[in-house]
Amino acid sequence: MLSAEGLRHTFGEGRGQVVALDDVSFTLTSGQTLAIFGPNGAGKTTLLKVLAGLIRPQAGSVRIAGGRRAIGWIGHETHLYEHLTVRENLLFWASLYGMPAPRRGPRAAEVLGRLGLGDRADRPVWSLSRGLAQRASIAKALIHDPSVLLLDEPFTGLDLAAAAELRVLLGELRGRGAGGGGRVLVLATHNVDEGVELATDVAFQRRGRFVHLAPLGGRGPSEIAEAYRRAVEQRTGGVTDG
Ligand SMILES: Nc1ncnc2c1ncn2[C@@H]1O[C@H](COP(=O)(O)OP(=O)(O)OP(=O)(O)O)[C@@H](O)[C@H]1O
Ligand SMILES: [Mg+2]
């Protein structure tokens, strides 16, 4: 379970002040995936960082069943040590999460297998392609079996095949249809097709505020794109805007 209540955060002061989060509240339970769409600078990354505990919001609160340890973060940077192998990275992160030493090796092997990285486990990260490095980064995010996954534009830079693989993997991780074991996913993306495929719930963020928050409710990509245009784009730059 993940809940946000009245989140508010601004950067800068005076005329240069930017409202990155404006009274954002929502609650997600196991098996729910929230896709957040919004223009550049809307505050999506800020929101994910606040949820992850990387930024302390100026107002509001975040509650996560299991606390910060329950979080896995998947961004577009890998957060891996380039000169270490994939396996060494996983063992390192497992130790940081306080996993008992005898469990680290088997857990790393399990996650490597799950991500199809078994035969690349002993290659240094610098030698991997973008897609493989992204998979290794996901393996890292999963090493401690988090129940909440925060994803900041995870499809950026992936080719079509790697993006398709990632969609399948995220669908599995969400625990679609499974009784129990389902995770909570929060996904910031600019890609409507990918967001809609994964989402159970959709938010449009504009100038820090959720101007739309609703279950996907059987809407397809074109309906979401149209609703997005109405909620976000047509109001930007208008005389009544702001
Ligand atoms: N550390 C910071 N210092 C000052 N301003 C910041 C900082 N981080 C973000 N901002 C500002 O806050 C606003 C929201 O930024 P954020 O990165 O959350 O947006 P975003 O929705 O993720 O955008 P994008 O789609 O480009 O990734 C922007 O105006 C940004 O310039
Ligand atoms: Mg961002």
Rounded to the nearest whole angstrom, what is the distance from the C-alpha of residue 43 to the centroid of ligand 2?
Answer: 7
Rounded to the nearest whole angstrom, what is the distance from the C-alpha of residue 51 to the centroid of ligand 2?
Answer: 14
- What token pair was written down for 220? 């397809």
pLDDT at 242: 43
DSSP code of 219?
-
Q: What span, in angstroms and rounded, lies between the C-alpha atoms of 223 and 62? A: 31
Atom of ligand 1 nearest to the CA of 208: 14
DSSP code of 124?
B
Tell me, rounded to whole angstroms, the distance of Cα 218 from its chain centroid: 22
- Extended beta strands in the chain, E state: 2-11, 18-28, 33-37, 59-64, 71-74, 148-152, 184-188, 201-206, 209-215
Look at ligand 1, atom 29, and give the residue with the nearest C-alpha.
Answer: 41
Residue-wise pLDDT tens for the chain (242 aa)?
999 999 999 999 989 999 999 999 999 999 999 999 999 999 999 999 999 999 999 999 999 998 988 999 988 777 899 999 999 999 999 999 999 999 999 999 999 998 889 999 999 999 998 888 888 999 999 999 999 999 999 888 777 877 888 888 888 888 744 445 689 999 999 889 889 999 999 999 999 999 999 999 999 999 999 999 999 876 555 444 44
Cβ proximity of 207 and 21 under 8 Å: no
In Å, what is the CA distance from 64 to each residue of 45, 96, 181? 18, 20, 16
Atom of ligand 1 nearest to the CA of 46: 18
Instruction: Quickly count helices (H) and strands (E) in the chain.
Output: 7, 9
- Pick the ligand that lies closest to the CA of residue 49: 1
Rounded to the nearest whole angstrom, what is the distance from the C-alpha of residue 79 to the centroid of ligand 1?
Answer: 20
Look at ligand 1, atom 2, and give the residue with the nearest C-alpha.
Answer: 11
Look at ligand 1, atom 30, and give the residue with the nearest C-alpha.
Answer: 41
pLDDT at 18: 95
In Å, what is the CA distance from 32 to each residue of 49, 134, 148, 179, 199? 19, 23, 10, 13, 8
- Pick the ligand that lies closest to the CA of residue 18: 1
pLDDT at 109: 96
If one residue of 45, 77, 207, 233 were mutated to test the ligand 1 pocket, choosing by the most ligand atoms within 8 A of its CB, it would be 45
Look at ligand 1, atom 25, and give the residue with the nearest C-alpha.
Answer: 40
pLDDT at 236: 55
- Pick the ligand that lies closest to the CA of residue 37: 1
Rounded to the nearest whole angstrom, what is the distance from the C-alpha of residue 120 to the centroid of ligand 1?
Answer: 35
Model's pTM, two decimal places?
Answer: 0.90
Q: What span, in angstroms and rounded, lies between the C-alpha atoms of 83 and 127? A: 9
Which amino acid would we find at residue 101?
A
